[in-house]
Structure 1
Amino acid sequence: MNAKNRRIMALSLALAERKVIHLKEAAALMQVSEMTVRRDVAENPDLFGTLGPHIIAAGRPDLEAPYAIGRAAESHSVAKRQASIHALRYLQPDETVFIDCGSTLIHLVDLIPADTRLTVVCYAFNIADRLIAKPNITLILLGGVYHPASASFAGASGADTLNALGINASFLSASGIDQQRGVSCEQFHEVPIKRKAMQMAQRRYLVCDQSKICRVRPAHFADTDDFDAIITEAGPLPLDGTSWQSGIVAN
C-alpha cells in the first residue's frame, strides 16, 4: 500500500470514529501538509466532503461543522440584525444589563445609540470590543478561561461577579428553541453564566433569528417560559408556542 492509500484509509477511519475532523487535525494525524489533505479530499469525492475547514464522510449532509463564532456571524446576519432592532426597544437607558455571547447580540450592541448611558455586563470578547467604542457605556467584563470557538470567557469568577451585581435586564442568545425541550446552545461552558445572568435579572429576553426555532442543541439552559419575551426578526414570539411548529412565525 502506497503512502497516499494509507492516508485515505487513516482519514476514513478517523471519520468513522469522530464524524467530523478539522483540516489541521487531519494534517497533523497523517503528518502531511494541509494542502496534501485538501488534495486527497478533492480527489476522493466518493469518500469525503467538506463543511468549511472541516472534513466529513461523503453523503453526510446531516452533519454540521462544530460551532465557530466567525462562521456563525455570516449566517442569517440580516435576520439577526432585524431581531436586534426589535430587541432594542426593551433596552432602557441608565440600567445595568447583561449581554450574552454569540453572533446575534453584536448587532444589538451596534444599535445602541452613542448617547445612551448603560452599565453592560458581558463575557465575550466580540461583544466587549464593540462596547469599548461606546462613550457612555460602563463595561464589566467577566473573566475566566478563554474559549476561542465562541470568543467567550468562563469560570467561577464570572458567576461570583454576577452574584454581586444588580441586573435590570438580561439579553440572551441561543442556538436552539423548542417548545417542549427548551432553549439550548452549542457550548456547555456558557450554561452556568447564562443561568446566573437570568437568575439575577429583573427581566429576561431571548434574541435569535427564526432558523433556531424547533432546533435542539447539546447544552440546555432554560425553558421557553423563563423569558419575558422571545424576540426574532418577526418581533416577539407568542410565549405559549402558538405557530412555532412550522419553524417560521409570520410578521
Structure 2
Amino acid sequence: MVHIIHAIDDNIPFTGVCFSLNVFLALKNKPNCSPILCGGGFDPQCNHFYPISENNELDDLRIDIMFASAAGVDGRLGVTCYALTEIPYKRQALRQSQSVVLVVDSSKLGVVRKAVVCQLPAIDQVICDVSLPAEWTAMLGTDEQRGAR
C-alpha cells in the first residue's frame, strides 16, 4: 500500500483514511494529504489499529476509492487477511466506498487466510505486480470498466 501512496503526485490534494501505522506514516509525508488514522486498540503483530467500540471514525465518512490489501485471494473463498481485528474496519470501508481497488502481489493469488474480508464481486479493480493470468481475470469478472492490472 505504501508504494501506491508514494506514486501519488505531490501536487494532488487528497484525504487518506487508514488504520495501519505504516500507511499513516507514508500519508503524513505527502504534502497535500490530509491523513485520517482510525484508532482504537493496536495489534503489534499486524501493525494496525482496530475499533474497540461500536462507533468509529469511519461512521461519518464516505470514501471515493478504497485501496484494500489482502493476505490471500481465492476464487471460491474470496479476499482474506491474517488478523480478525482487521475485519471490522475493512468491511465497513467496503460498504462506504464508491469503488474498491484490491492491491495484491501475485504470491497472494490462490492463498486463503483465516479472516474473510469479502467475496470477489465486491472488488472493482485489481492492481497486481504482474499481469493477472486469464483464469483470474475471468474469476474477477474484469472487463474494460473493471480492468485488472
- Tell me whether the two structures share a fold, i.e. TM-score over 0.5: yes
Q: State the match for 1:223 in structure 2.
A: 119
1:129 aligns with 2:30: no
- Quote the Cα distance in structure 2 between the aligned partners of 1:227 and 1:159: 25
Alpha-carbon displacement from aligned partner over 1:222-249 (angstroms, at most 9, x marks no partner): 001111012211256515258xxxxxxx
User: So what's the TM-score if we normalise by structure 1?
Assistant: 0.52
Mapped contact 1:175–1:212 kept (Cα < 8 A)? yes
Label 1:161 to 1:241 Cα distance change in 2 as closer, same or farther (>3 A): closer
Match for 1:193: what amino acid?
Y
Q: State the match for 2:85 in structure 1.
A: 189
1:175 aligns with 2:71: yes
Q: State the match for 1:145 in structure 2.
A: 41
Match for 1:162: what amino acid?
L
- Quote the Cα distance in structure 2 between the aligned partners of 1:159 and 1:116: 30
Once the two structures are TM-superposed, the CA of residue 157 in structure 1 deviates from its matched residue by 5.2
Ranges of 4+ aligned residues in structure 1 off by more than 2 Å: 156-160, 234-237, 239-242
Mark the runs of 5 or more structure 2 residues left unpaired by the alignment.
142-148
Higher relative contact order (CA 8 A, sep 6+): 2
- Quote the Cα distance in structure 2 between the aligned partners of 1:147 and 1:172: 18
1:240 aligns with 2:136: no
Total equivalences in the alignment: 139
- Give the % identical residues: 32
SS in 2 for 1:162: helix
- Quote the Cα distance in structure 2 between the aligned partners of 1:234 and 1:194: 24
SS in 1 for 2:89: helix
SS in 2 for 1:146: strand
1:199 aligns with 2:98: no
- Quote the Cα distance in structure 2 between the aligned partners of 1:158 and 1:208: 29
- Quote the Cα distance in structure 2 between the aligned partners of 1:134 and 1:143: 20
> If each structure's strand is expressed as a fraction of its own residues, which one has the higher value?
2
Match for 1:190: what amino acid?
E
- Quote the Cα distance in structure 2 between the aligned partners of 1:158 and 1:135: 33
Once the two structures are TM-superposed, the CA of residue 126 in structure 1 deviates from its matched residue by 0.6
Mark the runs of 5 or more structure 1 residues left unpaired by the alignment.
1-104, 243-250
Label 1:239 to 1:168 Cα distance change in 2 as closer, same or farther (>3 A): farther
Match for 1:240: what amino acid?
M
Mapped contact 2:41–2:52 kept (Cα < 8 A)? no
Match for 2:20: what amino acid?
A
Label 1:158 to 1:109 Cα distance change in 2 as closer, same or farther (>3 A): farther
Mapped contact 2:70–2:81 kept (Cα < 8 A)? yes
Once the two structures are TM-superposed, the CA of residue 160 in structure 1 deviates from its matched residue by 2.4
- Quote the Cα distance in structure 2 between the aligned partners of 1:111 and 1:224: 25
Larger radius of gyration: 1
